[in-house]
Amino acid sequence: MWERTASVSRISVHDSSRRAAAGFSLAELLIALALSAMVGAAVLSAYLFMARSLARLANYQRLEVESRRALQMLNTDARMAVALASPTAASVTLTVPTAGGTTTVAYTYDSSTHTLTRAAGASMPVTLLTGVQSFAFNYYDKQDAVQASPQSIKQVDVSFATAAGSLESTAQARFTAISARMLLQNKRLMNEPL
């Protein structure tokens, strides 16, 4: 509809109700779709990042709990040990007192299965650590000198690194521990008096 004005030009009057009923233009729809896709991608990315972080945290917690338990058991057995046999970087056998005498407790790192096990007496070995990447027992005498002879060893420490989770999913957690030196309190050295 056209109106005549004082000047000679014509002004077009649009019917606003017809424009509102027509909907969105193609350009408006494309812009809305692009913005929605960007927001959706950002939300998905944040969700995936949080899921990986949660998996990594759960793996790290499991490694820490296993490591603490293994170190606590080794520390208890080492303090009680009256004798030590077969000391290597991957294993040690301790003789610990029991109510009926003594028993042997063997700690063994198996590099093929990446595990640390504890076997007390004739019982089946119990797996203390899994996913062990590196492991070493270290032995010392009373004067803190490195020792290999079972008769002279008075202190033991252990160092290890464990890993859990998938490296491909970036949810892998790593845990490294170096224990304090554990004093074999009840073990007598050959030259010590009674």
**For 26-59, what is each residue's pLDDT tens digit?**
899 999 999 999 999 999 999 988 988 888 888 8
Identity of residue 24:
F
pLDDT of residue 173: 86
- The answer, yes or no, to whether residue 191 has pLDDT greater than 70, is no
- Which residues 6+ apart lie within 8 Å of 153 measured at CB? 84, 87, 139, 140, 141, 147, 184, 187
In degrees rounded to 5, what are phi and psi of residue 122?
A: -90, 5
pLDDT of residue 171: 74
The rounded percent of the chain whose pLDDT value lies above 90 is 56
Least confident of 3-7, 31-35, 164-168: 3-7
Q: How confident is the model at residue 149 (pLDDT cuts 50, 70, 90)?
A: confident
Question: How far is the C-alpha of 116 from the C-alpha of 89, rounded, in Å?
Answer: 12
Domain extent listing, the chain: 27-183
Residue pLDDT, tens place only, 78-137: 999 999 999 999 999 999 998 889 999 999 999 999 999 999 988 999 999 999 999 999
**How much is the average pLDDT of 149-168?**
87
pLDDT of residue 19: 56
Write the secondary structure of 129-166 as one string of H (helix), E (strand) and C (coil): EECEEEEEEEEECCCCCECCCCCCCCEEEEEEEEEECC
Q: 165 or 26: whose pLDDT is higher?
A: 26
Q: Which of 130, 132, 129, 75 is nearest to 105 (CA)?
A: 75
pLDDT of residue 15: 57
Q: How confident is the model at residue 70 (pLDDT cuts 50, 70, 90)?
A: very high
User: What mean pLDDT, rounded, does the chain reach?
Assistant: 86
Q: 3 or 163: whose pLDDT is higher?
A: 163
Identity of residue 127:
T
**How much is the average pLDDT of 165-194?**
77
pLDDT of residue 164: 87
